[in-house]
Structure 1
Amino acid sequence: MYRVASASEYLVITGVGIDDIKISKKAWVLPGQSCTVFDVSPVNYTFEVQAMSAEKLPFILPAVFTIGPRIDDESSLLKYAKLISPHDKLSHHVKELVQGIIEGETRVLAASMTMEEVFRGAKEFKQEVFEKVQLELNQFGLLIYNANVKQLVDVPGHEYFSYLGQKTQMEAANQAKIDVAEARMKGAIGSKSREGQTLQNAAKIDAETKIISTQRQGDGKKEEIKVKTAVKIFENLREAEVAEANADLAKKKAGWAKEAEVAEVEAKKAVALRAAELQKEVERMNALTVTEKLKAEFLSKASVEYETKVQEANWELYKKQKAAEAYLYQKEKEAEAQKAMAEADLYKRQQILDGELYAKQKEAEGLKALAEAQGVYLRTLLGALGGNYAALRDYLLISGGVFQEIAKINAEGVKGIQPKISIWTNGDASAAADGGALGEVAGVYKMLPPLFKTVQEQTGMLPPAWMGKMDTSDTNN
C-alpha cells in the first residue's frame, strides 16, 4: 500500500528490492517489504552531572540538553534509523546513552580546569562541553539543538561556593568601608582642589576663548574667500556654457537663413510660374474673344488669324515657361554650388585642424617616449657605473663628442693666430758646473741672443742699444 509520513516523521522501509534500508517521507510498500515510522522531533534531557576540578574540588553541573536526529544529513538519518529509532526516545536506554556521553565529556573537561576557570569562564566551559558532546553524538546521528548549563552547585559536604560567596560578601563590605573613608578624604581634598581649579580654569577658558575667537574670525574669512572663489568659478562655467550656446545658436541661425533664402527663391519661381499660367489663361481667353469677334465679322479671315494668334500665343507662352524654368534651374544650381562650396570649405578646415591636432599629439607622444627612453638609458648607465655620477658625466661628454668639439674650436682659433715658437737652451749643464760661477754667467749670455730674436720675431721690436746689437743678416746667430 501507499504510506505517507507526517511532518515530523520519516518512513523506514526494508525488504525485497532494498539492499539495506530506505528512508522516505512517502512511498509504496510492496509485498515482501516492511515499513516502520520513526519520529524526528527533538527531546529535552535534564541531567545533574557530578564532576571534579583540577584542585580535586567536586561540584554539580545542572544541564538541560535539547537533542534530536540530524535531519539535514542523509547519512545521519541512516545512523539514527539503525541505532536509535528502534528504541523510544524517552526510554531508559536512550537517556543513559546520552547521559553517559555528556557526563564523560564534562568530567574530562572539568578535570583539566581549575574551579576558578570553570566558575569565571562559564560561557567558554559551556561551549567546550557542547563541542565535545556533539562530536560523540555524531556517530549516532544526533544533533544538539540547544544546551543550557545552569549555575554550578556544591556537592553536599563540600561548601566551596558557599564559602566563596561569604568571602566575596566580606570583601565587598570591607571594600565599601574603605571606599567610604576614601570618599570622605577625597571630598575634603577635592573641595579645596576644585576651588583652585575653578580659578585656574576660568583664567584658562578666558585665554582659550580669545584664541578661539581669533581662529574663528580667520576661519570665517577663509570660508568667505572659498565661497567667493567657488562663485567666480561657477560664473565662469556659466559664461562658457552661454558662449557655447550662442555659438550653437549662430550656427543654427545660419542654417535657417540659408533654408529661408532657398525657400524664398523657390517661392519667387513658383509665383513666376503661376503668373505665366495665369497669363496663358488670359491670352487664351483674349484669343477666344477675338476669335468670336472675327468669326462674326470675317469668318474665314478670322479663322486664319485665330490660328495664327493661337500659335503665336503658344510660342510666347512656351518661351516664357522655358525662360522661367531655366532661371529657376540656374538659381537652384547656384544655391547647391554655394552649399557644396561651404561644406567643402568647412570640411577642409576641419581636416586641417584634425591634422594639426594629430601632429601635435604624435609629437607629444614622441617627446614623451624619447624622454622615457633617455631616462632608462641614463639609469642603465648609472647602474653599470656603480652610481658614479662623475664617471657618467665624463662618459656622456666623450660619447657626445664634446671634447672633440672643444679641441676643434681651439685648433681653429690657434690656426688664425699663426704663432712662432722658438726653443733655446743655455748650454750643457755639466759644462756650467765645471766652469763654476763664470760658467753660469756664460750660460746667461748664450741665452740672450735667442731671447732677443724671439721678441723681434713675435713683436717686431729690437732691444735697446745699451743691451747689445743683433746682426740681422745672419739668422743663425
Structure 2
Amino acid sequence: MASFKIAAPDEYLAITGMGIKSVKITKAAWVWPFQRCMRFSVQPHDYSMNLQAMTKEKLQFLLPVVFTVGPDINQRGANAKYGEVRNDAVSNDAHTAAQGLAGAPADDHGREDQGDSLIKYAMLLADSGNNGKGANNHQFLENIVKGIIEGETRVLVSSMTMEEIFTEREEFKRRIFRNIQTELNSFGLIIYNSNVKELKDAPNSIYFESLSRKAHEGATNQARIDVAEAQLRGNVGEAKRKGEQDRELAKINAETAVQKTERDIERAQAEAVLATRKTELNRDVNIAAITANRKTEAQDEDLKREVEIKRAAAEMERLRASDVVKASITREAKQQAADAKAYEIEAEAKANFEKNKQTTDAGAYKIKVDTDAAAYKTKADAEAWSYAAVRNAEANLQKKLKEAEGLAAMAEAYAKLGQAFGGPAGLLQFMMIEKGTYVELAKANATAVHGMQPKISVWNTGPEAGSGGDGVGAIAGAGQSSTATMRNIYQMLPPLMTTINEQTGITLPEWQFGRMAGQMSQLERGEGDAKANGKQ
C-alpha cells in the first residue's frame, strides 16, 4: 500500500524499486508497492587522526590532522535539474511512480545519473548493510574516510622534505586537501574543513626536540649578546650624563651665589627703608592713640551724665509702678490660688471618678466572673448528674435484666423440677422437705406444747368398751381399746388434712398415710394374736 514519506531537515530519502532505474534521492515522495525507501543523514562528521609519516629524507614524525567530511548536497546532477524545473517534488514522484506502475519507461526528466553525489553516498551506505542508520554505519564511513586521509597524506609527505613541509605549510595543506578530495568525490563526500596541527616527534625520534633546543639556545645566546651590548651602551651613556650633570650643577651653583649676594644687598636696603617707615608709623600711631584716648574720655563723661539722668527717671518710674506691681502681684497670687484650688477640686473629682469607675468595673468583672463560674459549675454539675443518672439507669437496667434473666432461669428450673416431681404440689413438698420446713413445724409445735402437761381422758363408749373380770381379759380389753383409739385417730386425719390443704395449700405426702396404714395393720395383727392367746 502506498505511503507518503517526508525526510527531516538533515535527512534525504533514497528510493529504489519499480519505476526507478537506479536510486532516487528526494526530500518527500510517495512510496508505492514494490519500492523501498531508506532514510540517511547528511550531517558532516569530524575525523581526527594522529598520522605517522616519513619525509623524503627518511625522517619519521607524527602529523595530527582533523577533517570535517560530509555528503556533498550541492552536486545533484540531472535529478536536481528536474526538481528545479518542476519545483514540485510530490508531483514528480507521483508522475514517475504512475509511469512505472503503468509499465511506461521513465522520461528524461526522471533519469538518475552518477553525477549526483547523494546517489553515490546512498549507495555507499547501502553497502554498509545498516540501512543508513546506527553506529555501525558511522564506523563504516569512518574506516573509509580515515583510510583515504591516511593513504593520501603519507604519499604526499613521502615526496616532500622536512624543510619544504615547514616553509611551504599552506601549499602542503592545499595539496593534502586536493588529493583527499579527489578520492572522496567517488563516494559523494566533500571536505568542509581541514586542520593540520603542529608536527610532533615520532617514537624514538628527537628531531623536533633538537630543532627546538637549537632554536632555544640560539635565541638565548643572542639575547645574552643583546643584553651585554645594552649594558655597555647604558654604562657609557650613564657616565656621559653624569659629567654633564656635574658641569651643569657647578654652573648653576656659581650663578646662585652671585644672585644670593645681590639679593642680600637688596634685602639690607629694604630692611633700612622698612625700619624708617616703622618709626614714622609708630609716631603716627602714638599721636592717634593719644587723640583717641582724649576723645574717649570726653565721650565717657557725656555717657555717664546721660546714664545718671536716665537712672533718676527710672527710679521715679520704679517708685510710681511699685504700688501697681504690688496690686498686680496680689491679684495674680489670688488668681493662682483660685486656679490651684479649682485644679485640686478638678483633680480630686477626676480621681474619685476614676476610683468609682475602677470599683464599678471591678465589681462588674467580679460579678461576671462569679456568674460565669456559677454557670460553669451548674453546667458541670448538670452534666455530671446527667452522666451519673444515665450510668445509674444503665446499671439498674442491667441489674433488672440480670434479675429477670435469673428469675426466668429459676422459673425454668422450677418448671423442670415440677415436671420431675409430678406437678407444683410435688415440687412444693420437695422444697419443704429440702429446706426442713416440716422439721421446723414439728419443733414449733413441740415448743408450743412443751411444759403444758395436759390431762387427756379417753372415753370409749363404743362396742369395744368393756371390762374383763380376770387379768387376761383386762389385758385383752386394754389392747382392744388402744387399737380402736388409734383407728379412730387415723380416720380423723383425712378430714384434718383436707382442711389444712384448703387453708394453707399444703398437701401431705401419700407415703405418710401409707406408713400409718402399715402401723395400723401391725397393731391389728397384734390385737388378733392377743385375742387368740387369751382364748386359749
TM-score by length of 2: 0.34
TM-score normalised by the chain length of structure 1? 0.38
Query: Between Structure 1 and Structure 2, whose CA radius of gyration is higher?
Result: 2
